[in-house]
Amino acid sequence: MGNYHHTTGIGIPATIRSGFLTLSHFGFLTIFQGYQWDGPSGPTFDTASFMRGSLVHDALYQLMREGKLPQAARKPADRLLNQINKEDGMSWWRRFYVYRMVRLFAGGAASQRG
């Protein structure tokens, strides 16, 4: 697949590097080839309209879990998931459902551990 790049709109004071992820200070996310990711989580179907969004969302949540990205980035990350899913053709009803579920139940996945 190669490296994947996405502009997140999440600005931070300094560039973050963590394993296979880099988030620049102006919000440019790079996910390097070899990043371990298993597709969308939860009770859902792995469809083409959900893959790219879940990749970016999982990477941002990982940075929050590691304490490298503030928890305040959670809502922008969730909104970005919704935006990417829309761009990739996910139906409005499924986008609504996915967004509500991550807002209600995914907080623990972004919580700092350790």
Domain that holds residue 100: 4-110
Q: How many whole angstroms from its chain centre is CA 104?
A: 16
Q: Which amino acid is at 67?
A: G
The pTM assigned to this predicted structure is 0.94
The 3-state DSSP class for residue 17 equals: strand
1-37 pLDDT per residue, tens = 699 999 999 989 999 999 999 999 999 999 999 999 8
What's the total number of domains in the chain? Answer: 1
| Cβ within 8 Å of residue 2, ≥6 positions away | 33
Hey, CA dihedral for 109, 36, 67, 83, is it positive or negative?
negative
Percent of residues in the chain assigned helix, strand, coil, to nearest 5: 45, 10, 40
39-83 pLDDT per residue, tens = 888 777 789 999 999 999 999 999 999 999 999 999 999 999 999
